[in-house]
Amino acid sequence: MPRLSRLLPLFCLAAAIALFSAPPPSSAADMNEAAEKELAMLSMFFDPDELVITATRSPKPLSQVAENMTIINSREIEEMRAHTVAEVLNRATGVFVGFFGQDFGSDASLSIQGSNSRHVLLLVDGIPWNMLVEGSATPQDIPVGIIERIEIVKGPASSTWGSALGGVINIITKDTKKIGQPPVSLFASYGGGNSRDLRAEARGRSGPIGFYIHAEHQASDGLVAGRSYDAANVTGKLSFKLGESTTLKIASSYSEPRHGYVLDFTGLEVSTNDRNFFASAVVDSEISDTLSAYLMTFQRKLKYDSTNNELGGVLYNRSQSDDTTNGVRSNVTYRGDFQTITVGADYEKGKLDNLQTYGPTIQGWGAPAAMRKIVDAERWAVFANDNILAGQFTIIPGVRYDHHEIAGDFTSPSLGATWRAGENTILRATVSKGFTSPAYAELLAGGLFLDPNPNIKPEETVSYQAGVETLLANSVRLKALFFNHRISDVQKKAYYAGGPSGCVGSACNDIFVNAGSEHRRGLEIDAETSPVKGFSFKAGGAFVDIDPNGDDASKKKYRYTAGLHYDDMDTIKANVTGQYVWHDAPAGDGAEYNAVIVDAGASKTVLLSPRAKPEFFMVVHNLFNGSSYWHTDYKNPRRWIEGGVKLLF
């Protein structure tokens, strides 16, 4: 019997043909009424006018999205009083954040539904934010103050975005001034460990020209001894109306986060200094009532510099990389009464200049004083997806073809559907094929005692997801989803299986190879109540069972979050949130995670004048001094308190 992955493209094509020939609903008015009912069901929890773009690269209501998707808006981010992107994502069901300390400004790794960190594609306004050298993302380099909302697609998103086996996190930044928005915002907070966060932003519009500018500085002496953090950012946008239906937007951002910490387990003092820059130009045009076009060019540069010193200041190793990606994204969308078709093409060229310097300890193991690798590769892709309305159903077929100069070609089909099973119930289901390309270190660059393997293939998966979203008793929104991912050609390190030529045993280098498979399956549940006398309750949980086909033991990861919120719809807000994470970490890592971590906060808006309305807030983090960390080197802080003010005028 042929493999499902080979039949899936034909399945998608056949489904599309069948649906094109299906009789349409009785009228466009009927379809509009159905869409309005779906949006009304969600309006208690989402802005009914808000459209999401990450699922298919064209704006569409969340009620017509088949993928397992979570939206985090600016209001939720503000109420969290988060200082980093990782803190925000740590509240999203199905996303597992591996903090390197959970300190103020802590960096972190990202996992979706138990995936490897390199399987998650992180985007900022569609610009890739994953490092070329190892494939994982750097969320700590994105200033949280510029975020308008975050759209998360959980599970393979390769039919739209390419290399994204685990999912996509698209951070959409704030835009130039719109009607009703305050032109100036100031934010300041101060807390334990001499931790401070200062932000200022301004928006404006004059005729056809709009602007947005944001500046931010964060610093801390460390909430845990031996840690420190300092980061500055400036971001700017300009928008130009080029006629009635065409807009040009230019954006640029620069950030420079620095981290310092001591690793007691390994006895190393670590200092990192990142320099991030991105620039983009976007032309967005409504060509007609039914046809629109989008074109973006971008550059993203990451200069990474990390130094590890042995206690006493002797160099252990230093890693420096200059990571540059230039690219183009484009698509054209047709919108009819019952159908939305998007076709597009992407191009990226990535270049990595990586320098490794080694101290006397590592040189004593046979390493050279320094190693430098310069690699570059091109990749391009074409994609198409459809959004077909047929009665109470929405059918979404999609397919993408990716060509990588070194890793080869990959075709990613998908088929999704939604069904409005009742006035307050939506069912969703998807089947898709996804992949993640090897990182440059594994494929081209190599590393310390690591040989590159140009023959390594992309990891791939066939995924099934199905779920329901419903409104109970007109007051409780319930969302539940089951997922099943089967990953093949899993990348693993083969120890002592590489060069140099003629080597024997441990004198040989390591190499990454495709070895075995992995099965990940699990369940996600979210629940949220409507406000009752100002109080509302929100909870979520995710369970993942990871079953490798090989020597590795089966792992289970789960996380539960629950929060009580109060909003008097006038001047007072308060919230208490608790979270428990089971990391299933190896026994030798010294992990500890037997406690629920509870945070509590409150805010009060003072009406000084019609234009000046400062909001004062206070947050108590880790209220009960719980311990939750996956490695002894990355212990979370004990209880700490911060306070601050936000002023809009």
Tell me what the mean pLDDT of segment 221-247 comes to. 94
- DSSP annotation string for 261-315: EEETTTTEEEEEEEEEEEEEEEEEEE-SSSEEEEEEEEEEEEEEEEEEEETTTEE
Strand order in the sheet with 491-494: 450-451, 510-514, 491-494
Residue 168 DSSP class? E
Q: Are 642 and 618 in contact (CB under 8 A)?
A: yes
Cα(35)–Cα(183) distance, rounded to whole angstroms? 34
* Alpha carbon distance, N-terminus to C-terminus of the chain: 66
Mean pLDDT value across the chain: 88
214: confidence class by pLDDT, cuts 50, 70, 90: very high
- In tens, the pLDDT along 495-547 reads 998 888 778 888 889 999 998 899 999 999 999 999 999 999 999 999 999 99
Strands 167-173 and 184-191, by their bridges, are unpaired
The reply to whether the predicted model has a pTM over 0.85 is yes
pLDDT of residue 43: 42
Dihedral angle computed from the Cα positions of residues 115, 329, 87 and 277, in that order, rounded to the nearest 10 degrees: 120
Nearest to 544 by CA among 517, 518, 523, 519: 523
159: enclosing H helix or E strand: helix 158-161
Burial label for 243, CB within 10 Å (0-12, 13-18, 19+), is exposed
Query: What ranges do the domains of the chain cover?
Result: 4-648
Q: Are 302 and 275 in contact (CB under 8 A)?
A: yes
Nearest to 226 by CA among 192, 190, 262: 262
Q: Is 64 strand, coil or helix?
A: helix
Q: Phi-psi bin for 312: left (phi > 0), alpha (psi -120 to 50), beta?
A: left
Q: Are 202 and 222 in contact (CB under 8 A)?
A: no
Q: For residue 174, which phi and psi values (nearest 5 degrees)?
A: -65, 150
Residues near 552 by beta carbon (within 8 Å), at least 6 away in sequence: none
Q: What angle do CA 60, 170, 46 make, to 5 degrees?
A: 50
CATH classification of 4-648, choosing from 1.10.10.10, 2.40.170.20, 3.20.20.70, 2.40.50.70? 2.40.170.20
Which range among 112-126, 285-299, 425-439, 605-619 shows the weakest confidence by mean pLDDT? Answer: 605-619
Where helices occur in 296-400 by DSSP H, the ranges are: 360-363
Maximum Cα interatomic distance, the chain, rounded to a whole number of Å: 80
Q: Count CB-CB contacts under 10 A for residue 551.
A: 8
Q: Count CB-CB contacts under 10 A for residue 473.
A: 8
Q: Are 431 and 414 in contact (CB under 8 A)?
A: yes
Look-up of token digits 């892709």? 381
Cα(570)–Cα(630) distance, rounded to whole angstroms? 41
Q: Per-residue pLDDT for 18 more than 60?
A: no
Which range among 34-43, 269-278, 513-522 shows the weakest confidence by mean pLDDT? Answer: 34-43
Q: Are 238 and 202 in contact (CB under 8 A)?
A: no
Look-up of token digits 């998608």? 12
Dihedral angle computed from the Cα positions of residues 274, 131, 65 and 83, in that order, rounded to the nearest 10 degrees: -20
Q: Are 316 and 309 in contact (CB under 8 A)?
A: yes
Tell me what the mean pLDDT of segment 343-368 comes to. 94
Tell me what the mean pLDDT of segment 16-21 comes to. 34
Tell me what the mean pLDDT of segment 224-238 comes to. 94
Cα(144)–Cα(217) distance, rounded to whole angstroms? 11
Strands of 363-488 (E only): list them.
370-390, 393-404, 408-422, 425-436, 450-451, 459-472, 476-488
Looking at the chain, the number of H-run helices and the number of E-run strands are: 7, 35
Q: Per-residue pLDDT for 265 more than 80?
A: no
Residues near 118 by beta carbon (within 8 Å), at least 6 away in sequence: 130, 134, 135, 136, 436, 439
Q: Per-residue pLDDT for 304 more than 60?
A: yes
Cα(183)–Cα(433) distance, rounded to whole angstroms? 45
Q: Count CB-CB contacts under 10 A for residue 26.
A: 9
- In tens, the pLDDT along 384-404 reads 999 999 989 999 999 999 999
Look-up of token digits 């090989």? 550
pLDDT of residue 50: 62
pLDDT of residue 40: 43
Query: Long-range CB contacts (< 8 A, 24+ apart) of 489-497?
Result: 489/457, 489/458, 489/459, 489/460, 489/514, 489/517, 490/459, 490/514, 490/515, 490/516, 490/517, 490/518, 490/548, 490/550, 491/438, 491/442, 491/456, 491/459, 491/515, 492/516, 492/550, 493/450
pLDDT of residue 500: 81
Q: Per-residue pLDDT for 487 more than 60?
A: yes
Residues near 507 by beta carbon (within 8 Å), at least 6 away in sequence: 496
